[in-house]
Copies of this chain bind each other. A is one copy, B any other.
Amino acid sequence: MADTLSGLQAPAVGAPAVAPDLRGWTCPLPLRDHPRVVMGHGGGGAMSAELVEHIFLPAFGGRTAAALGDSAALSVGGARLAFSTDSFVVRPLFFPGGSIGDLAVNGTVNDLAMSGARAAYLSCGFILEEGVETALLGRVAQALGEAARAAGAEVVTGDTKVVESGHGDGVYINTSGIGLIPPGVDIRPQRAEPGDVVIVSGEIGLHGVAIMSVREGLEFGVEVRSDCAALGGLVEAMLAVTLDLHVLRDPTRGGLAASLNEIASAAGVGVLIQERAVPVPEQVANACAILGLDPMYVANEGKLVAFVPREHAEAVLAAMRAHPLGARAAVIGECVPDHPGMVVARTAFGGTRVVDLPLGEQLPRIC
């Protein structure tokens, strides 16, 4: 605004008015192929991992490494806390089954739930684009407040910034969350071990296909609604069976394939999936067939994948099926000593194929 008044041009992207001192900062080798950030760096796949490994970990040091899970586990004043952050840039802001307001709550609540913590407190930071309708902002805030109440979390602190038109996209939201990890619970990707049973809490691919259908104006017969939901209650039901859950993960960006690969890699184990056992709804399968996508890579916002010790698997599965958000839970595979760090799927035809970590994301700005 000040720039407009003085008739000056806004500085170009990446060209700050005061040139940063780049001495002492050598671009790490894998990133040299990408002198500039591309959409794939935000996709939650291999390119996102490169940014973390080669830029953020060296810069932030030490404890950041622990944060490769969905949330960090901290000791504060005798309590064990889970702490997590997510920014939301989904487009469009409203979609069948939810909005950026629901997503901003459920995304962070679910990250906390994946360490066994029930979300207690949320922060909320808005970056608004000049010109967005205040009524629209009001509706987003209302959805956010309702989702927080539904998840049993309180929004306790916030911040609002406004950027000039053309430097944002309506509404961006960051939420961070704090939850208490119950005593005796130690859920993290590194705990996956051969023999663990892999359970998914329901049908996959709904969020990604819902976003895609409204963004591209596609019709797949029936309206596909996002599965956006808070998973804290489902996780509590699972913990009521046993505190010894090994790994929980919500397969958002990059889908089930990305989550399974991250777990296999963190624990140094193999994961073997029975492709036929993965619950894919018909409309997701149809949409993926039309678009040439693999449902294993499509984002979910109300599902989790669990690695459970074999002796507890049956009881945990029953508890999940008794919960509304786990009614269609299914065993989809197991953790194996073979092919450490790799995810392999047995296909419907009896062959096997490697399920790779996706490079970027099939669809940008899914959350």
Contacts and interface: CB of A to CB of B under 8 A. Distances in A.
For chain A, which range describes its interface: under 10, 10 to 19, 20 to 34, or 35 or more residues?
35 or more
A170 B13 CA distance: 5
Contacts of A36: 130-134
Contact of A162 (B41, B60, B128): B41
29 contacts: A2-B364, A8-B215, A14-B131, A16-B93, A17-B215, A18-B95, A20-B136, A25-B142, A35-B135, A36-B132, A37-B131, A37-B137, A51-B134, A55-B134, A56-B160, A60-B145, A60-B148, A60-B158, A67-B156, A74-B178, A76-B77, A77-B80, A83-B178, A85-B176, A88-B161, A89-B161, A89-B163, A125-B174, A174-B174
A27 B134 CA distance: 8
A22 B214 contact: no
A87 B162 contact: no
A282 interface: no
Contacts of A347: none
A162 B16 contact: no
B121 A74 contact: yes
Contact of A165 (B13, B42, B89): B13
Contacts of A52: 158, 160
A216 B95 contact: no
A240 interface: no
A215 B2 contact: yes
A135 B24 CA distance: 11
A359 to B, nearest CB: 13
B81 A14 contact: no
A71 B157 contact: yes
A88 B40 CA distance: 23
Contacts of A39: 1, 130, 162, 164
Given A77-B78, A167-B169, A31 B134 contact: yes
A107 to B, nearest CB: 9
Contact of A92 (B11, B48, B144, B156): B11
**In this complex, which of A21, A38, A149, A176 has the most chain B Cβ atoms within 10 angstroms of its Cβ?**
A176
Nearest to A169: B167
Given A59-B144, A159-B85, A363 B2 contact: yes
B91 A11 contact: yes
Contacts of A169: 10, 13, 163, 167
**In this complex, which of A6, A10, A215 has the most chain B Cβ atoms within 10 angstroms of its Cβ?**
A215
Nearest to A139: B20
A77 B72 contact: no
A83 B132 CA distance: 28
Nearest to A40: B162
A324 interface: no
Contacts of A66: 156
Given A39-B162, A156-B74, A16 B64 contact: no
Given A83-B156, A92-B17, A127 B129 contact: no
Contacts of A88: 161
